[in-house]
Amino acid sequence: MSALLLSVTPSKSDELAILWHQRLGHLHFAALRSILGSKTPLASSVCETCVKTKHRRRFIRTPVPRATRPLETIHSDVCGPFKCLSFSGAQYFILYIEHYTRFCWVYFLRTKEANEVTGRFQEFRERIRKIFPQWEISRFRCDNGKGEYNNTFFCGILSATGI
């Protein structure tokens, strides 16, 4: 009952309703009243969990400027693990999406460790430099995955190459 803020001392039927409210995933009290078959309104109880989770959060989003040339921005994410392994034994894959053309590259990974992700990025970057020598990658966007992107080795490569 510590999660409840009660304005009055709850009766036995109110305690039962509160228990069922929690068991049914914090179902609203009007629906709970119809399920329990109660004709009387429940006491004015407020579930603290419901109040916290049903508040609307306000996000201040700044629009991302569109890329004006190829390879200006690369988006990336690591996906997996998958139950079914690939033929090469990979359980993850890394996706690189070029913002201007929306062209995608996919590399398979055996693990999600930082050294393998960083190695694949270096391989991707070298491949891009050979195919498109006139353009350089300017920005790299990712979800800052703990470990795979957010480590000193990967950040050092980005800063050393001017990305």
Instruction: Give all domains of the chain, ordered by start, each with its CATH number.
Output: 4-53 (no CATH), 73-161 (3.30.420.10)
Question: Which of these ranges, 13-17, 112-116, 146-150, 157-161, has the smallest mean pLDDT?
Answer: 13-17
In terms of C-beta density within 10 A (0-12 exposed, 13-18 middle, 19 or more buried), how is residue 84 classed?
exposed
- Cis peptide leading into 70, omega within 30 of 0? no
59-46-2 Cα angle (round to 5): 100
pLDDT of residue 1: 45
pLDDT digits (tens, 9 = 90+) for 100-120: 999 999 999 998 888 899 999
Considering 14-18, 19-23, 49-53, 133-137, the range whose residues carry the highest mean pLDDT is 133-137
> Average pLDDT, whole number, for the chain?
82
Give the single-character DSSP code of 135.
-
This prediction's pTM = 0.61
**pLDDT of 162 strictly over 60:** yes
pLDDT of residue 103: 93
- pLDDT above 90 covers a percentage of the chain that reads 32
